[in-house]
Structure 1
Amino acid sequence: MMFPTYRKPFVGGDTHRRGTATVVADLPAYRILVVGRESMLARVLVHESAAQPWTAHLADSATEGIIDALDSGYDAIVFGEHAPGHDALDLLREASDSGVTIPIIIVGGPCSSEHRVEVLRAGADDFLAESVPVEEMFARIEAVLRRRKPIASARQHTLRVGTLELDLVERRASYAGLDVLLTSTECRLLALMMRNPGVVMTRTIIFERVWGYRFDPGSNRVDVYIGHLRKRLGAIGAAKNWLKTVRGAGYALGG
């Protein structure tokens, strides 16, 4: 990946030039999710984010990125094709199946024109080569973000099943006028169940979608967190059968 020779990259918006740098007018603050914590892409985006109209947050894998994108109100996903968990086409299919609607920008290595076309037709909003200069990469990310207004409506961050509500930003569950704050993991777990009301979710599905890596059959982590979540909901008056145990199968949400 190439680096510019000056430190103030182009950041879009209403600008005028002073020599090689760009002076930027006030821009909205966006939140982007970068998949691949250890990648050069992540290091560049996070290191340079102070000079950009966004803040960059990291996810370790594509699966974790999908979960975070659904739960945390991001404005775009930037995915390096070499990030662990999936390739670009897998990510785009999973994002579509999971209901992710925010823009997805793919950054990939040398590839054929046919592959780039396939990725774009699969739903990517842009495809950038890893060798692109950082200034151009930033400008193209900003171009995608400018086409999307920053998320402002609280309604987009709220899930509702019957009288149970979950605020994904505040990580707050509400029932019958009472609220309880959840941990990040509890919030992801409840969000998964609320997006699939009445559907039996196996321990494997829950583990891989909430924690983002392969399920260990010997682990009781899912059962422990289901217990924690039942106690949280019980504290605001929700009956235990909101999270039902389906013997031999898993768990289901129902009122």
Structure 2
Amino acid sequence: MPHILLLEDDKRLSRLIATGLLEQEMDVSFAYDGEKAYELASTQYFDLIITDIIVPLKNGIDFCTEIKELKPNIPVIMLTALGNTDDKLKGFDSGADDYLTKPFEMLELLARVKVLLKRFSPQNLHSSNILKYEGIEMDLKLKTIHRNGILIKLTPKEFNLMQFLLENPERVLSRTEIAEKVWETRFDTGTNFIDVYINYIRKKVDKGFDVKLIHTKLGMGFILKKGYEDHIL
């Protein structure tokens, strides 16, 4: 039975979410402020965390950042009334693996919980630990990435995006595919959310190296490839 930690100070909403999880045979522990959530998450085992952002004592962003530093392999879903792109960026940069804006459908939350539980299962986490391409080496167990021996510091969501590129080298990846595979959601095609993150990792992975590896295929998406010409830097 998966064990879920739920950080939500709205007790009515907390009960509704817990009811849905319990109906799916998931065990739920409750926290109503960020400090209590961190105490529970740091001392007990949980398969997944669901957290609001605006909660007492320690907000959900700070809580997520701190617990991801301690336990990087625990998936986190953020629930919040804040829904613009900047807020989502802050949530993902803190280490959140998914993001739902209130109000949301319980069925959608349950679907995302199941996807993350599967992705972060011990079997999947230990299936392959090292990804390599043209001098880049990513250790999925240690959550580190180097290029030609130089450590590159990525946020958790940047790491996940770079992992997806390394898993699909020399193949054009559309914005829709990246959104579905990395964020497990669909973004408004009118936003530049994916482009923002591609630019983040491009500056970190390609900066200072003569050979650029992360390229934009005009009108189609992005590709990890040595010596690709049809791109925008």
Superposition TM-score, scaled by structure 2 size: 0.50
Superposition TM-score, scaled by structure 1 size: 0.46
Q: Which has the larger radius of gyration?
A: 1
Greater RCO structure (CA 8 Å; 6+ sep): 1
